[in-house]
Structure 1
């Protein structure tokens, strides 16, 4: 698919999408998070791009929601779904669901919905989903302790592009490598010509570096997994709680993540920890050795009575001897023991191995001095050895861990994607359970709803009375004020919109029409002026032209002008729709007048009013066929005529009631 062929994707957006690793795959998977990874593309924009790609894939012309009220019903449906998502991703992902007239798209989502409705929105799964987020790119990685070396200019340019994290140097021969090795802890030579060179320092020859970048820059995969560790762990928890098949070994992934610190360094290696601590604690350990030796020496001096003959003392003074000579002569054994104490203290404090301990012993000289002091040059050599060992160990562990994680990168991305998609499935499952939904059938120009309940009403769903209603062709719907006519239209519109989205509908069973457009006109707020009235007539004139596969829902169109004119206008509109085999429902208080004005036998359905009870209207919510429902005024007059009101004026009320019956 050409990116520019997607509705709403221009040249600039297409260029941003091409920055993704696999833009076509992301769009095919409907992966909003991946598309949102393109530069300058927000999640909301990504959802619209994915929806455009879906339309292009199904050759969907769009335009199903033909009026503002139809679009409002769709927005309400999306809100109900979004309220049942856990992740921000799923809240955006559900926006890719839209009402369509194309069979392939509707069936595609119906298959998704059928699978989703089998999912169990377990509390443990929902809790685990709270930590799942789309994977993010880590910040820039910079490697300063190693470099790449080549003698070829073309390979130099290629290496600069392939390894932006590292310095790349041009060298002519082994001498150049040796010079680099003095400035870097590791030099990676990428030319085959350097194979077998003998250079002092850590120089690796890896001609296949381009094929295995993780071996050269293990920090790259480590940084990615460190940046996404919590998200991956949450995705693992979702898979375990939901019993989902995982694209990788979850135990292996968790074990690898456990070896990774937030900064991308390796943890959990006892030997590396020992070497790191030894480098960090070296000065302190040397100081401890000095203190231990001097404490031991002072104690020995206090406990010894040193006697020096006069001739010997004179000889020592003449030779300029100081305490060192005295120690050597009188306390040689004690000094030797003190130095050994210093060495052992230092070795034990740093937990050094035998070969390391040999170097550490040079930090304290056998020649007597007081106080005992470390040899800084020897300490520096030990630090250099320990640091080199630490760095080698860290580099090896980084490469090992990077090799493991690099193989897990694609499965890890799939792991997170599957967890996020499970949230989308669970949103549909929760929607279906919360509102007792089923997947509807499709066929014909009309609709049929059995025990439908609207979740759009401002009452608890459990309190909503079920409605049975079906229409083939065009019908008038009559009923008293507040009897449920508008809520019935809303229910019909919602069922039709959800059905054409491929989603379950709130009913025990339902059939939605095969239509290209839904036209829903809400009740007008007051009489329209001449210009607005003319525009409204133009809208309805357009409904009678061209492709007739439309469902038209109209709420009290008579309010746009005078009642007498409204009845004639509505009758004319119904005649045109009837002739075109369209389907629709017109809610009106002028059903009788419209029926009389029409040139065919208009179907009139009614919401039956049972009566008034304690001042409250009692109705049967499901419309009845061939019923011109009574109005609220008629119910009040009937109540008065039966003596429930003013019995003294009963004859007057009877005459008024006769007027209604005559009509």
Structure 2
């Protein structure tokens, strides 16, 4: 994907385009809304990746992103998104869900609907959700530095090439076999790149491999292992998720799991008995020497104390400890005892080292010359340490090469394994949302909307306790009803269903039919009368609504609160007339529904959320709006209740006035 194409995405400038271009396939990542891959670009966070992905999707579907045409509409979307994100396990899924947004584009809606229809089939079992807890996007490995091997060459050009190809190891210039031999004394393995050194005979692990730079990962298997070690827990969690979900990944999960089982967090290979034994021998070497000396000296001390010689044993011991002729005394009087003591030291030392193939060298750590106290030969011990270390490092390197060979070809498949698990979390979030709120997919057909059995998850009550609502509107309608009867929550339900439907997601209803709107304008209830400037601004906003030929859904909650009731009725009537002539669907909640209908020059439907009475001071309400019905007010209900219960003449007269003031019901 060229810079110019990347920069065509809204919000992607030159610097961001350069960063995205470093991805292997930025076009595929942007087309799929692949937040994890986009976030791998340098300097791109997960949140930024989600915004870029969303912008790229809009660009692909020629979506101008203006569907949410008011602050309250945007708040509804934020609430819907939050409900989805609460059902995601991973941080990735939370960000990925941000790429779902309400769109006017039919192709985008259908794209998400296809995804969501498959997603709702997923079964979010507790075991699967628990396994997802450990899945995260893969991290790049930490820098690797290898100190137990080097690469050697006598050619300056090859030297520079090697430094670039394998920066993890030391690259050395040598002139001849002596230089190689010097390196072999300091490194466990020396890899010579010059064919001219073939047949070289030097002590140590020296390999002449002229083509080694063609496969740098074989020289430095730690490069492969560092990636898998860094991501070991994430990969194993992803493997568990895929097993539980029954997916069929390209990766051989069993082979991957077995290889990861052998890896330690630092990238070393565990579980090899020989390496463990060599490690233990190296770590215990100084203590083993000290213990062996103790065994020999304790034994020799006892022999000296108990020996019956020309002088008393205790006197002899005193002389010996002062260093007076110890070698000659031991040789003349205690030769057998000294030999036995040294043999005991050797056995102790060899036994502690525990490696049969190093027995001969270990035994030489205690010499034949009689001394007291018995002491080890430090040169032998250091040589033993060097050989044990070189042996361990060579074997560890071989094991690393073996495990890296198993893993090297699996890197892309392993990354796909994690991405599959992360995407599954996105699907499960949609599935959990649909299950938690008894959702169904809406049909897009006709004009306006028709919702059956809709229940809003935004209400501050348990979802199971929410009363279902049936409501539909074609054209424009006024919605009347008592205070706290559910008018605003009905608007919220309609807005939420439309937002979710145009995100391509299922909606909380038994069934729903929607027009594919080009914009949602939701005017929330204003707190208090507006000043002149704010009032003018609000009217200008409605002026823009009736302009053009966009198919809008307009939801308005008690617009009359912006100014005096008399003026409000006239203003709302005029707006409704203009909306009736446009290609819009509108629902206006108002306590002035009767007055507005009287002031309107066209037929306007008045629907009512009907209060059916009072019980123990609590309003009893039928939450589904009744079509073509002006709902009674709360004061009227209270007067009616008093008239029925008390029979007082005042209450009857008041009730008659309410009836007289009512506009005639629409036919």
TM score, norm. by length of structure 1: 0.92
Q: Could you tell me how far apart the structure 1 residues matched to 2:443 and 2:369 are?
A: 99
Tell me the residue number matched to 2:484.
Answer: 482
Deviation at 1:350, TM superposition (A): 0.5
Summarize the Cα distance change of 1:191–1:368 in structure 2 as closer, same or farther, 3 Å threshold: closer
TM-aligned CA distance change 1:401 to 1:474, over 3 Å: same
Q: Which residue does 1:297 correspond to in 2? A: 300
1:562-619 residue CA offsets vs partner (Å, 9 max, x unmatched): 2232222222222222222321212222222222222322222221221222222222
Match of 2:139 among 126, 136, 139: 136
CA contact (8 A) 2:69 2:519 kept: yes
Pairing partner for 2:370 from 354, 368, 371: 368
Instruction: Describe the shift of the 1:364–1:173 C-alpha distance in structure 2 as closer, same or farther (beyond 3 A).
Output: closer
Hey, what's the Cα distance between the residues in 1 that align with 2:599 and 2:12? 50
Distance 2:646 2:190 in 1: 103
Q: For 1:364-408, what per-residue CA distance to the aligned partner results, in whole angstroms no more than 9, with x for missing partners? A: 222333332212222222222212111111111122222223233
Q: Distance in 2 between matches of 1:193 and 1:470?
A: 88
Determine the C-alpha separation between the residues in 1 that align with 2:142 and 2:496: 45
Task: For 1:14 and 1:287, locate their aligned partners in 2 and report how far apart those are by CA, in whole Å.
Answer: 65
What is the aligned counterpart of 1:415 among 407, 417, 440? 417
Q: Residue 283 of structure 1 is aligned with which of 269, 286, 293?
A: 286
Pairwise mapping of residues 18-417 of structure 1 onto structure 2 (< 5 A)? 18-171=21-174, 174=177, 176-191=179-194, 194-306=197-309, 322-353=325-356, 355-417=357-419
1:244-286 deviation digits (Å, cap 9, x = unpaired): 4344333332332222222222221110011111122122222
Q: How does 1:443-522 map to 2 (within 5 A)?
A: 443-522=445-524
Separation (CA, whole Å) in 2 of partners of 1:102 and 1:209: 55
* Cα distance in 2 for residues equivalent to 1:373 and 1:53: 76
Greater mean deviation of Cα atoms: 274-283 or 203-212? 203-212
Distance in 2, matches of 1:208 and 1:61, equals: 56
**Aligned residue in 2 for 1:659:** 660
Distance 1:488 1:213, change over 3 A: same
Q: Which residue number corresponds to residue 567 of structure 1?
A: 569
Q: What is the alpha-carbon distance in structure 1 between the residues aligned to residue 552 and residue 288 of structure 2?
A: 86
Spell out the pairing of 1:598-617 with structure 2 (5 A cutoff): 598-617=600-619
CA distance in 2, matches of 1:294, 1:171: 48
**Cα displacement (A) at 1:194:** 4.9
- Structure 1: which 5+ residue stretches go unaligned? 314-319
CA drift of 1:31 comes to 2.8
Could you say if the C-alpha distance between residues 560 and 192 of structure 1 is closer, same or farther in structure 2, counting changes exceeding 3 Å?
A: farther
Give the aligned CA root-mean-square deviation in angstroms: 2.5
- Among 595, 598, 612, the alignment partner of 1:593 is 595
Which runs of no fewer than 5 residues in structure 2 stay unpaired?
317-322
What CA deviation, in whole Å up to 9, does each residue of 1:315-345 have, x standing for no partner?
Answer: xxxxx99343343344433333322222111
Question: Which range moves more in the overlay, 62-71 or 212-221?
Answer: 212-221
> CA offsets per residue over residues 397-444 of structure 1, 9 Å max, x none?
122222223233222222222222222222111111111111111123
Hey, what's the Cα distance between the residues in 2 that align with 1:347 and 1:334? Answer: 20
Deviation of 1:451 (Å): 0.1
Alignment partners' CA distance in 2, 1:586 and 1:150:
84
Task: State the SS of the aligned residue for 1:477.
Answer: strand
Choose from 526, 535, 543 the match for 2:537: 535
CA contact (8 A) 1:149 1:169 kept: yes
Q: Which residue matches 1:647?
A: 648
Give the 3-state SS of the residue equivalent to 1:438 in structure 2: coil
After superposition, what is the alpha-carbon deviation per residue over 1:107-146, rounded to whole angstroms, capped at 9, x for unaligned?
2211221222122221222222222222222322222333
The Cα shift of 1:448 comes to: 1.2
Q: What residue in structure 2 maps to residue 577 of structure 1?
A: 579
- Give how far 1:287 is off: 2.2
Residue deviations 1:444-466 (CA, integer Å, cap 9, x gap): 33111110000111111111100
User: Which moves more between the two structures, 381-390 or 367-376?
Assistant: 367-376
SS of 2:336's partner is helix
CA shift for structure 1 position 626: 1.4
Match of 1:627 in 2: 629
State the secondary structure of the residue aligned to 1:636: helix
Instruction: Report deviation, 1:193.
Output: 5.3
Are the structure 2 counterparts of residues 512 and 176 from structure 1 closer, same or farther at C-alpha, using a change threshold of 3 Å?
A: farther
Q: Kindly indicate whether the alpha-carbon contact (under 8 Å) linking 1:144 and 1:166 is maintained by their aligned counterparts in 2.
A: yes
Whole-angstrom CA distance in 2 between matches of 1:629 and 1:321:
122
The whole-number CA distance in structure 2 between the counterparts of 1:152 and 1:4 is 46
4-13 or 158-167, which deviates more:
158-167
SS of structure 1 residue aligned to 2:409: helix
* Partner Cα distance (2:222, 2:413) in 1: 19
> Offset at 1:200?
4.3
- So what's the TM-score if we normalise by structure 2? 0.91
Q: Deviations over 1:165-187 (max 9, x none)?
A: 23333445555544444443333
Cα distance in 2, alignment partners of residues 335 and 439 from structure 1: 94
Once residues 557 and 612 of structure 1 are traced to their aligned partners in structure 2, the CA distance between those partners, rounded to angstroms, is 28
* Residues 321 and 153 of structure 1: CA distance in aligned 2, closer, same or farther (over 3 Å): closer
Structure 1 contact 445–549 (Cα < 8 Å) conserved: no
CA offsets, 1:54-111, max 9 Å, x none?
Answer: 2223232221111111000000001111211222222222111111111222122112
1:471·1:583 contact (CA, 8 Å) conserved in 2? Answer: yes
Aligned pair in 2 of structure 1 residues 650, 595: CA closer, same or farther (>3 Å)? closer
Q: 2:578, 2:502 → 1: CA distance?
A: 25
Q: State the distance in 2 between where 1:651 and 1:361 align.
A: 119
- Alignment partners' CA distance in 2, 1:431 and 1:385: 63
Aligned length: 651
Greater CA drift, 417-426 or 168-177: 168-177
